[in-house]
Amino acid sequence: MEIKQKYNRWLNHPNIEPSLKLELEKMDEKQINDAFYTNIEFGTAGMRGILGAGTNRINIHTIRKANTGFAQYIASNGDEACKRGVAIAFDNRRMSKEFAMDCARLLATYNITSYVFDSLRPTPELSFAVRHLNCFGGIMMTASHNPKEYNGYKLYDDKGCQLVPALAKQVIDRVNAVEDELAIEANPTKEQEMLIHIIGEEIDEEYYKNVLSIQLEQDQDKSNVKIVFSPEHGTSYIPVTTVFKRAGYNCIPVIEQCSFDPDFPNTPTPNPEEPGAYILAQEYAERENADLILVCDPDADRMGVGVKHDGEFIILSGNQSGAVLIEYIFSRLKDKGLMPENPVMFNTVVTGDLGEKIADKYGVETEKTLTGFKFIGEKVAKYEVTNEKQYVFGYEESYGSLIKPFVRDKDAPQACLMLAEAGAYYKHQNKTLVDVLNGLYDELGYYVETQTSLALVGEEGAKKIQSILANLRKDRLTDINGVKVIKWEDYGSLEYSEDGEVKPLVGFTKSEVLKYFLEDGTWIAVRPSGTEPKCKVYYCVKGSNSADALEKAEEYKKVMKEIIA
């Protein structure tokens, strides 16, 4: 169907939601094209996009279309799956609560039970609730760290893990078979409405109990560490402050950023990957003479940390905070005799090398997955059944980690508690977390683990991203900045080449990632973002010292900018 036809069908459909109709009437040609040139799709973290009218937008009709596919998938698994039902949570974004309740009502029309949280909750608690309630699946209404214009729809399986490709395909095939999303209604009978259950404090208490169980130095003196915390207007406010109070930590919330405002008015960005997320928290920290700044994204799966070191606050990257957590957790497990047999850590193909070096030091195996914590969750579930290996940590470079796997997604409240514990533990040794990180560089090698991105929005942007990957495949890079490529991995074709011989890349599903290993110990990866209209470039640059690694990283960034421009 042509774009204009799709637009007119929406504009004139009798079931169109009135506010969306008003929006459609005000659209110009460019806006119409962007809203209808494609159908919004699932990425590495579900379905996510800009709120608004159109097939390429998040709205009540596209949510219903996706939810119909999920409902049909559940129903296809039989009556028992329908009875076990679905846990549903939502964050502070516009329409999240309305979408969540509509999802429950639509599921009820398929005789599927649902358990809907009574108010906003973090993504990790939704993952926890799925397993705690023995549900068949879960739905989280969130756009995670994206700007205020966005919302999204994440799906979870019965293990509390985001749908991996094989399961997602079963849902997507059903979604794509829906011919008229505007014709879908969510009108259960009175009897079917009885399938919708409201949940709340009882799940909170079980989740908090499990989060508090991760502590390794529960009885240490915690009065020596002062923490400034920002939820960035999101769902982490209540769980993090509750857990800190019960654990005995001195936590100072950034009050201006504690309201659940969907416009995020008091922060330049709700994304801990960006410096703007720390500005107000740092003002608090300087005024309060705090040791740590902890910042969570709106749905509380990502967490960033700032550390006071030599009188100034240093913001750690996701790779760096992950490395510090690995060193602290593994060293304490070893010293206490708690390291299990056959321990395994998971990270992704675009996560830096330092964490793996630390794991090696403690005899912990590292397994790589594709980007997206669902792949780590899948591994956790596998070894829970086989007992072949014992999980001790999982993390991504994108500011997300999981300490204990009672959750099967990134869990910022867990990470906040463990970093607070590490901060207190090392302060008793007159060390900051930056001292710990620098010690790891001295011991294991100097790495700069960073990324750049090229923002490419709309239809032209999507085509540009496709052409970047196609061109890189057509003309394989043999060197970058004059340094020889000694190996490449192509997760799109599931091939790799070393010493000129192309071989199958096993153990992964297809994904648009290209990774180059260079003669100087550096690797560089290119992939489209699964959650934003960006082409990302990841760098793990090894140097003879810190200054050398930084200088090399800047040179590689300049060259890669030219290559993908």
Query: Per-residue pLDDT tens for 374-425?
Result: 999 999 999 999 999 999 999 999 999 999 999 999 999 999 999 999 999 9
Q: Are residues 407 and 488 in the same domain?
A: no
Residue from 42, 81, 312 nearest 164 by CA: 42
pLDDT of residue 125 exceeding 80, the answer is: yes
Nearest to 307 by CA among 244, 218, 228: 228
pLDDT of 130 reads 98
pLDDT at 41 over 90: no
Extended beta strands in 310-462, E state: 312-316, 343-348, 365-369, 390-396, 400-402, 446-455
**What's the average model confidence in pLDDT over 493-508?**
93
With a pLDDT cut of 90, the percent of the chain lying above it is 93
Which of 114, 127, 144, 331 is an active site residue? 144
State how far the Cα of 517 lies from the Cα of 509, in Å rounded to an integer: 21
Domain boundary among 425, 444, 463: 444
Asked whether the beta carbons of 91 and 235 are under 8 A apart, the reply is yes
Query: pLDDT band for position 458 (50/70/90)?
Result: confident
Helix (H) or strand (E) holding 156: strand 150-156
328 plus 440 within the same structural domain: yes
Question: Is residue 397 domain-shared with residue 501, that is, in the same domain?
Answer: no
What are 389's two structure tokens?
Answer: 């290996």
User: What pLDDT does residue 460 have?
Assistant: 82
Side chain identity at 534, as an amino acid letter? K
Q: What is the pLDDT of residues 300-319, one digit of tens each?
A: 999 999 999 999 999 999 99
Query: Confidence class of residue 463 from pLDDT cuts 50, 70 and 90?
Result: confident
Q: With bands split at pLDDT 50, 70 and 90, how would you rate the model's confidence at 21?
A: very high
Query: Can you give the CATH number for the domain in which 34 is found?
Result: 3.40.120.10
Tell me: pLDDT of 43 over 70: no
Q: Among residues 135, 104, 168, which one has the least CA distance to residue 374?
A: 168
Q: Amino acid identity of 17?
A: E
Q: Whose CA is closest to 60, among 184, 150, 177? A: 184
For residue 140, tell me if it sits in a domain.
yes
- What is the per-residue pLDDT for 532? 72
Q: Is a pLDDT exceeding 70 seen at residue 447?
A: yes
Domain endpoint, select from 143, 166, 200: 200
Q: What is the pLDDT of residue 22?
A: 97
Identify whether residues 409 and 285 lie together within a single domain.
Answer: yes
Cα 315 to Cα 272: distance, rounded to the nearest angstrom = 10
- Does residue 45 register a pLDDT over 70? no
Number of folded domains that form the chain: 3
Burial (CB count <10 Å: 0-12, 13-18, 19+), residue 255: exposed
- Rounded CA-CA distance 441/354 in Å is 8
Q: Which of 387, 414, 444 is the last residue of a domain?
A: 444
Percent of the chain with pLDDT over 70: 99
300: left (phi over 0), alpha (psi -120 to 50) or beta: left
> Is the domain of 424 the same as that of 455?
no
**9 and 110 inside one domain:** yes
56 within a domain of the structure (yes/no): yes
Range of the domain at 550: 446-564
Q: Is 218 part of a structural domain of the chain? A: no
Q: Write out pLDDT tens, residues 80-90.
A: 999 999 999 99
| Residue 96 annotated to the active site | no
324 plus 337 within the same structural domain: yes
Asked if 36 and 52 touch (Cβ cutoff 8 Å), the reply is: no
Same domain, 354 and 436: yes
**Beta strand extents in 373-430 (DSSP E only):** 390-396, 400-402
Whichever domain contains 541, its CATH number is 3.30.310.50
Examine residue 254 and state whether it is found in any structural domain, yes or no. Answer: yes
Whether the predicted pLDDT of 462 surpasses 90: no
Do 132 and 153 belong to one domain?
Answer: yes
Residue 470 burial by CB count (10 A; 0-12/13-18/19+): exposed, middle or buried?
A: exposed
pLDDT at residue 456, rounded to an integer: 80
- The pLDDT of residue 102 is above 90: yes
| Residue 189 φ/ψ, nearest 5 degrees | -70, 170
DSSP for 35-82, written as a single string: HHSS---EETTEEEEEBSSSTTSBSHHHHHHHHHHHHHHHHTT-HHHH
Question: Is 217 contained in some domain?
Answer: no
Mean pLDDT of 74-80: 98
**Is residue 482's pLDDT more than 70?**
yes
- Domain contains 216: no
Instruction: Please give the structure tokens belonging to residue 224.
Output: 């020596």
Q: Which helix (H) or strand (E) holds 259?
A: none
Average pLDDT over residues 351-370: 98
